[in-house]
Structure 1
Amino acid sequence: ESSGLLACARQSAGIGMARRASDLLMAAVDLGESGANSHQFATAATAVSEAAEAAGDAQAEGRARTMLTHVHSVSGRFADAEAESRRALELGRLADDPVSLGQAPNQRGIIALYENRHADAESHLTEALAAFRADGNRPGEASALCNLSRVHLATGRTASAVDLAQQGVSIYEADASGLALRLANGKYALGLALSGTGQTGRAQDALTEAMSIFRDSRQQLWHGMTLFRLAQVHLAIRQPAHAASHAEQALAVLRGIGGEWRRANILTTLGRGLAGIGQTDRAQVCWNEALSIFEELSSPEANSVRNLLRPASVAQAS
Structure 2
Amino acid sequence: HRMLDHYLHTAHQAAALTNPSQILISLTPPAEGAHTEDFAEDTRRAAGWFSAEQAVLLAAVEQAATHRYDAHAWQLAWAVNDHLHRRGLWQDQEAVHLAAMEAALRLGDPVAQAHAHRGLAAATTDLGRLEEGRVHAERSIELLTDSGDRGACAESYNYLAYVAGRQGDLEDALGAVQRSLAIYRADDDSGGDDSRRRTAVAATLNGVGWFHTRLGQHQQALDHCQQALALQQELGDDSSAADTWDSIGLALHHLGRYDEAVTSFRNALDLYQQTGGPPWYTAAALGRLGDTYLSAGQPDAARAAWTEGLDILEQLSHADAEPLRVRLRRLDEPSGPSKAERRGADS
1:271 partnered with 2:271: no
Q: Which has the higher mean CA deviation after the structures are superposed, 87-96 or 110-119?
A: 110-119
Q: Distance in 2 between matches of 1:190 and 1:287?
A: 27
Runs of 5+ unmatched residues, structure 1: 1-11
Q: Which residue of 2 aligns with 1:7?
A: none
Q: Which residue of 1 aligns with 2:234?
A: 216
Q: Which residue of 1 aligns with 2:216?
A: 198
1:164 partnered with 2:176: yes
Query: Is residue 142–residue 168 contact of structure 1 (8 Å, CA) maintained in 2?
Result: yes
1:74 partnered with 2:86: yes
Q: Which digits, 9 at most, give the CA deviation of each residue in 1:254-277, with x for residues without a partner? A: 116123211111111111122222
Q: Which residue of 2 aligns with 1:5?
A: none
1:29 partnered with 2:48: no
- How much does 1:173 deviate? 0.5
Q: Distance in 2 between matches of 1:244 and 1:59?
A: 47
User: Taking structure 1 as the reference length, what is the TM-score of the superposition?
Assistant: 0.83
Q: Counterpart of 2:337 in 1: which secondary structure?
A: helix
Q: Distance in 1 between matches of 2:306 and 2:75?
A: 39
Q: Which digits, 9 at most, give the CA deviation of each residue in 1:172-214, with x for residues without a partner? A: 0011342112212321221122223322222112222222333
After superposition, where does 1:138-177 map in structure 2 within 5 Å?
A: 138-177=150-189
Q: Which residue of 2 aligns with 1:308?
A: 327
After superposition, where does 1:1-318 map in structure 2 within 5 Å?
A: 13-14=2-3, 17=5, 22=8, 25-26=11-12, 29-33=15-19, 36=44, 37-41=46-50, 53=63, 56-177=68-189, 178=194, 179-255=197-273, 257-309=276-328, 310-311=330-331, 312-313=336-337, 317=342
Q: Which digits, 9 at most, give the CA deviation of each residue in 1:2-53, with x for residues without a partner? A: xxxxxxxxxx944x746xx736754763313366332235657876776673
Q: Which digits, 9 at most, give the CA deviation of each residue in 1:237-287, with x for residues without a partner? A: 222222221111111111161232111111111111222223222221221
Query: Is residue 165–residue 189 contact of structure 1 (8 Å, CA) maintained in 2?
Result: yes
Q: Counterpart of 2:146 in 1: which secondary structure?
A: helix
User: Taking structure 2 as the reference length, what is the TM-score of the superposition?
Assistant: 0.76
Identity of counterpart residues, as a percentage?
20
Letter in structure 1 aligned against 2:237: Q
Query: Is residue 153–residue 196 contact of structure 1 (8 Å, CA) maintained in 2?
Result: no
Q: Distance in 2 between matches of 1:99 and 1:64?
A: 14
Letter in structure 2 aligned against 1:182: A
Runs of 5+ unmatched residues, structure 2: 21-42
Query: Is residue 202–residue 231 contact of structure 2 (8 Å, CA) maintained in 1?
Result: yes
Letter in structure 2 aligned against 1:148: L
- How much does 1:118 deviate? 2.4
Q: Which residue of 2 aligns with 1:8?
A: none
Q: Counterpart of 1:255 in 2: which secondary structure?
A: helix
Q: Which digits, 9 at most, give the CA deviation of each residue in 1:64-97, with x for residues without a partner? A: 1221122121343333323333332232223333
Letter in structure 2 aligned against 1:191: G
Q: Distance in 2 between matches of 1:175 and 1:155?
A: 30
Query: Is residue 161–residue 173 contact of structure 2 (8 Å, CA) maintained in 1?
Result: yes
Q: Distance in 2 between matches of 1:48 and 1:301?
A: 29
Q: Distance in 2 between matches of 1:227 and 1:219?
A: 12
Query: Is residue 232–residue 269 contact of structure 1 (8 Å, CA) maintained in 2?
Result: yes
Number of residue pairs the alignment of both structures matches: 304
Letter in structure 1 aligned against 2:47: S
Give the structure with the larger helix fraction: 1
Q: Distance in 2 between matches of 1:106 and 1:38?
A: 22
Query: Is residue 22–residue 45 contact of structure 1 (8 Å, CA) maintained in 2?
Result: no
Query: Is residue 23–residue 63 contact of structure 1 (8 Å, CA) maintained in 2?
Result: no
Letter in structure 1 aligned against 2:337: S
Letter in structure 2 aligned against 1:163: G
